[in-house]
Amino acid sequence: MTDLSALEKQFLSAHIRPGGVCVDFTMGNGHDTAFLSKAVGKDGKVYAFDIQQKAIDSTRKTLEQENCPDNCVLILDSHSEAAEYVKEKICAGVFNLGYLPGSGNKALTTKRETTLKAVKAAVALMDDDAVILIAVYPGHEEGKLEGEMLSDYLSGFDRKKYCVSRFTIVNSPTSPYFFAIESR
């Protein structure tokens, strides 16, 4: 069976370099933040965004439990404001759209308007040979609409500058899928 999470990590590992800068645009419980932190090492930097204090607290705990280097900046703000905080070129960025896992609050989700602004900022921050991964959860209405919006937006990218791929399980239409944007 295809493990989309493992496939995402393969994409990230191909682009992340020690000492690099990464962004977790939707930190959630901090698992991607921790992966990025370890991948860039003590000389790298990871910015992580979420609008919920609960996510910041959970991520801080995850980073401590996984003995991550002290290289993360946890930001209590929308991912749509990333350009206000991140000034360096990035080698990788990760989005897990939807709601905070385990929060019990499925009404508080990422939204198309802020997601599109955040994706545009992420692409503008990409260094050469970088990757942005966007996990989409079409099992709820806003997730379905976010995925459609992103598909429309990303299909217009110049293929000489970016390789945009979509990885989905075809015979399970409500399963999560992800986009990979790779800069050339």
Q: What is the chain's pLDDT, residue by residue, as a tens digit (184 residues)?
A: 667 788 899 999 999 999 999 999 999 999 999 999 999 999 999 999 999 999 999 999 999 999 999 999 999 999 999 999 999 999 999 999 876 565 555 666 777 789 999 999 999 999 999 999 999 988 888 889 999 999 999 999 999 999 999 999 889 888 889 999 999 8
Query: Helix 112-125 and helix 141-154: axis angle, to 10°?
Result: 40
> How many structural domains comprise the chain?
1
pTM for the model: 0.93
**What range does the domain containing 155 cover?**
4-183
In terms of C-beta density within 10 A (0-12 exposed, 13-18 middle, 19 or more buried), how is residue 47 classed?
buried
Name the CA dihedral angle for 55, 94, 85, 120, rounded to a multiple of 10 degrees: -130
d(CA 109, CA 52): 11
141 to each of 31, 98, 148, 158, 175, how far by Cα in Å? 25, 10, 11, 29, 13
- Alpha helices, DSSP H, located in the chain: 4-15, 31-40, 53-65, 82-85, 112-125, 141-154
CATH code for the domain in which residue 13 is found? 3.40.50.150
